[in-house]
């Protein structure tokens, strides 16, 4: 039996979880359809999800269509939980993007579709809620083509829009308009198809067009659009048929070397780690020892796979399937199991968090428990990026928005019994080098208390390239473990630049190296005072790197969001001054009927204030869409962030802290 790992994605409230319930019911997995409002859905299993009526964590359910086992992954729709979506994208064979027939294409819809297209994930579009008042057909199709820039075609029409009797009417071979539109769309991506049509119109039968549609949909070249309602079930049968016909089932060699990706980690009732793994090749069995993250290794103690709705205990999981693995105590989200996959996508698919806040326990006695709890939450969501400041005894977390902060607060209270407060949310800036700097510390020099020689050069790199580490020394000039220690310390040290912000888009090159070979004292015992260790390089590297960075200089940048503001025409005069005060820069504006559409950029720090002001300025009719766009240099007062490390910018204090003495 073939397997299809299918993601359900949407803007919040488009009906994604309701569609998941309808699909499970249609496949006979559940007898009764759950309600998001009542908190009775299959995939929203967390108490917090049921209380709030939103998806916070991705969830997996399974069902069978004909000869295909579908592992359906329900993902969060709220932009504050976009990190959950990012992890799921790495394991999908195909996706269904849900669009509301009432609200149409929304901000998150565009972000998701751009990413699906960039990763070339085959995607069907389901226009939901055709039974709701205000549902549309033509303008929704136009917005899918225009706003999503997605080559798409409606697979049917819709009757009775806005009523409980609304239904989807599939097109077939008898619909000349449909076959003509289908041919035009497919010919855009296949010159041979167009040539065949020109030579002989009768050569292109309807079955051949459907076969070509399936082929192009599986290559993510075109996106079939289905209309329906998850609540009434209208159009869902056509969508189910489309899922098996138009999306590619997983293929993999169950007998080959093991290769998989961890996309979710959770804790079991006894606190044990459970890793969700999409297996691309090979077979994993209970008691197998698996390698991950290079040199790490763990023994699988139990396995469950998803079948007929939930997961069931099994002795193995094979290529193409999703399994839950126990026993891998050091596993992390994003780890490759066995042989790493070679993909061109690489890196993060969505923007990083642009906000952060300090978390403090209401009871001082909970300080240790809070750190442990946040560490466990960071295992499940690495992008909250725990930042421990031992000097001030404070812990910071990164955020996408205020809703995420509220969820963290509720999770700590409900799951760990820890009540916390948050300081005011602040914006996360970044630093980029503006020049080139170099520094070196030579072993045996009076000013260098470490048994190591390290020379580093740092220089700017193209925007978006992150941090690249290179060598100008021979790879065999010293043990590889020492070179690795330098590289790891470089990346860690650059998390705090000259002004305390992370340094990105740079190249760091190791220009000098040297070490003291392993030596023994007179009694033949290893003598650390005479021999270099990785610790020498880890302690010396921050001093050298920050000296080079100080010479290069950095520029602090703030995150900027692209905004799209739809407001009544009469509100434009009152909204414009507010945009100016919030440092928003409109770049285009146009009237559309009784509305005024304004697009531009706004500092991330101002987005929340704009959201708060908008309802009163527009009598509740304004619609704001925002998404991270780029980083922009700060030209006014440069913001700084207190350091949480031993401050290698202050040599004297640094050496006092790490070696308890001052040299030079």
pLDDT tens per residue across span 509-534: 999 999 998 765 555 555 566 788 99
Whole-number Å distance between alpha carbons of 96 and 71:
13
Architecture of domain 2-246: 3-Layer(aba) Sandwich (3.40)
Query: Are 638 and 554 a contacting pair, CB within 8 Å?
Result: no
| pLDDT of res. 662 | 46
Query: What's the burial of 389, exposed, middle or buried (CB within 10 Å: 0-12/13-18/19+)?
Result: middle
Q: With a cut of 50, which residues of the chain have pLDDT below it?
A: 44-46, 49, 344-346, 661-664
Residues 6 or more apart whose CB falls under 8 angstroms from that of 476 comprise: none
pLDDT at res. 345: 47
CA angle 45, 46, 52 (to 5 degrees): 105
Q: 619 Cβ partners below 8 Å, 6+ apart?
A: 568, 571
- Rounded distance between C-alpha atoms, residue 303 and residue 76, angstroms: 26
DSSP string, 350-413: SPPP-EEEEEEESSGGGHHHHHHHHHHHHHH-GGG--EEETTTTEEEEEES-HHHHHHHHHHHH
CA distance 435 to 548: 10
Structure tokens at 89: 């994208």
pLDDT of residue 525: 57
Q: What is the pLDDT of residues 214-252, one digit of tens each?
A: 999 999 999 999 999 999 999 999 999 999 999 998 777
Query: Do 293 and 332 form a contact (C-beta atoms < 8 A)?
Result: yes
Tokens of 489: 């310390």
The reported pLDDT for the residue numbered 384 is 76
Interatomic CA distance for residues 288 and 279, integer angstroms: 14
Q: How far apart are the first and last CA of the chain?
A: 71
Residue 231: strand, helix, or coil: coil
CA 282, CA 353: separation in Å to the nearest integer?
35
CA 374 to CA 586: how far, in whole Å?
39
CATH 3.30.230.10 fits 431-552+651-658, yes or no: yes
What is the rounded CA–CA span in Å between residue 84 and residue 77?
10
Q: Where are the domains of the chain?
A: 2-246, 259-338, 355-412, 431-552+651-658, 558-633
pLDDT at 432: 97
The secondary structure of 299-343 as a DSSP string is: E--EEEEEETTEEEEESEEETT-EEEEE--TT--TTPEEESPP--
Task: Give me the architecture of the 558-633 domain, per CATH.
Answer: 2-Layer Sandwich (3.30)
Of residues 292, 418, 320, 422, the one with CA closest to residue 364: 418
- Give the integer Cα–Cα distance in Å for 519 and 537: 17
Pair of tokens at residue 54: 């939103």
Token pair for 465:
């390239």
* Residue 213: how many other CB atoms lie within 10 Å: 21
> Which class for 376: exposed (0-12), middle (13-18), buried (19 or more C-beta within 10 A)?
middle
Nearest to 645 by CA among 541, 504, 492: 492
Distance CA 150, CA 144 (A): 7
- In this structure, what are the phi and psi dihedrals at residue 264, rounded to the nearest 5 degrees? -160, 140
Q: Which two tokens stand for residue 599?
A: 């697009």
Q: Is 33 helix (H, G, I), strand (E, B) or coil?
A: coil
State whether residue 579 is helix, strand or coil.
helix
The answer to whether the beta carbons of residues 19 and 126 sit under 8 Å apart is yes
Backbone angles phi, psi at 278, to 5 degrees: -90, 120
Enumerate the β-bridge partners of residue 291: 297
Phi, psi of 68 (to 5 degrees): -120, 125
| Residue-level pLDDT at 350 | 58
Q: How many CA atoms lie within 13 A of 230 on its CB side?
A: 25
Bridge pairing between strands 355-361 and 123-128: unpaired
CB 86 within 8 A of CB 7: no
Q: Which fold has domain 259-338?
A: Elongation Factor Tu (Ef-tu); domain 3 (2.40.30)
Among candidate residues 322, 323, 320, 248, the one with its CA nearest the CA of residue 281: 320
């Amino acid at each position: 039996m073939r397997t299809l790992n299918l993601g359900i994605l949407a803007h919040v409230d488009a009906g994604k979880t309701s569609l998941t319930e309808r699909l499970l019911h249609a496949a006979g997995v559940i007898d009764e359809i759950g309600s998001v409002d009542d908190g009775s859905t299959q995939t929203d299993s967390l108490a917090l999800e049921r209380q709030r009526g939103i998806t916070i964590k991705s969830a997996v359910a399974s069902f069978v269509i004909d000869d295909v086992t579908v592992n359906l992954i329900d993902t969060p729709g709220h932009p504050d939980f976009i990190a959950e979506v990012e992890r799921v994208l790495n394991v999908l064979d195909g996706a269904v993007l849900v669009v509301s027939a009432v609200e149409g294409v929304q901000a998150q819809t565009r972000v998701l579709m751009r990413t699906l297209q960039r990763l070339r994930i085959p995607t069907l579009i389901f226009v939901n809620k055709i039974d709701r008042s205000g549902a549309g057909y033509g303008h929704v199709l136009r917005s899918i083509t225009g706003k999503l820039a997605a080559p798409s075609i409606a697979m049917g029409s819709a009757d009775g829009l806005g009523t409980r009797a609304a239904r989807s009417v599939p097109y077939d071979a008898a619909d000349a308009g449909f076959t003509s539109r289908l041919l035009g769309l497919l010919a855009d991506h296949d010159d041979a198809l167009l040539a065949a049509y020109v030579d002989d119109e009768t050569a292109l039968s309807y079955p051949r067009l459907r076969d070509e549609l399936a082929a192009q949909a599986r290559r993510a070249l075109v996106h079939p659009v289905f209309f329906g309602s998850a609540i009434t079930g209208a159009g869902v049968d056509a969508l189910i048929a489309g899922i098996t016909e138009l999306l590619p089932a997983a293929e993999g060699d169950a007998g080959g070397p093991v290769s998989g990706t961890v996309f979710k980690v959770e804790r079991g009732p006894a606190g044990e780690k459970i890793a969700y793994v999409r297996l691309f090749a090979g077979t994993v069995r209970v008691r197998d020892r698996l390698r991950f993250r290079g040199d790490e290794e763990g023994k699988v103690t139990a396995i469950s796979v998803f079948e007929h709705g939930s997961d069931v205990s099994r002795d193995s999981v094979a290529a193409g399937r999703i399994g839950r693995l126990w026993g891998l105590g050091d596993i992390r989200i994003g780890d490759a199991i066995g042989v790493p996959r070679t993909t061109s996508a690489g890196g993060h698919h969505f923007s990083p968090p642009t906000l952060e806040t300090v978390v403090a326990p209401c009871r001082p006695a909970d300080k240790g428990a809070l750190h442990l709890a946040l560490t466990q939450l960071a295992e499940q969501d690495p992008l909250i990026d725990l930042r421990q400041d031992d000097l001030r005894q404070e812990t910071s977390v990164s955020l996408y928005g205020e809703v995420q902060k509220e969820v963290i607060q509720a999770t700590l209270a409900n799951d760990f019994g820890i009540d916390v407060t948050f300081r005011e949310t602040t914006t996360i800036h970044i630093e980029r080098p503006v020049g080139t700097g170099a520094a070196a510390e030579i072993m045996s020099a009076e000013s260098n208390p470490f048994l190591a020689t390290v020379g580093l050069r740092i220089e700017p790199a193209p925007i978006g390239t992150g941090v690249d580490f290179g060598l100008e020394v021979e790879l065999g000039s010293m043990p590889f473990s020492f070179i690795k220690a330098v590289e790891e310390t470089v990346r860690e040290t650059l998390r705090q630049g000259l002004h305390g912000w992370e340094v990105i888009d740079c190249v760091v090159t190791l220009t000098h190296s040297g070490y003291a070979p392993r030596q023994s004292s007179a009694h033949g015992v290893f003598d650390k005072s005479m021999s270099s260790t990785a610790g020498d390089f880890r302690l010396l590297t921050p001093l050298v790197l920050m000296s080079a960075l100080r010479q290069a200089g950095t520029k602090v940048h703030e995150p900027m969001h692209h905004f799209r503001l739809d407001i009544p025409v009469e509100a434009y005069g009152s909204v414009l001054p507010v945009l100016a005060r919030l440092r928003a820069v409109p770049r285009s504006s146009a009237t559309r009927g009784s509305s005024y559409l304004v697009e531009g950029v706004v500092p991330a720090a101002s987005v929340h204030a704009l959201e708060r002001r908008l309802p009163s300025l527009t009598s509740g009719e304004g619609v704001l869409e925002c998404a991270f766009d780029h980083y922009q240099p700060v030209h006014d007062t440069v913001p700084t962030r207190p350091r949480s490390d031993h401050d290698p910018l202050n040599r004297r204090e640094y050496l006092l802290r790490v070696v308890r003495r001052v040299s030079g």
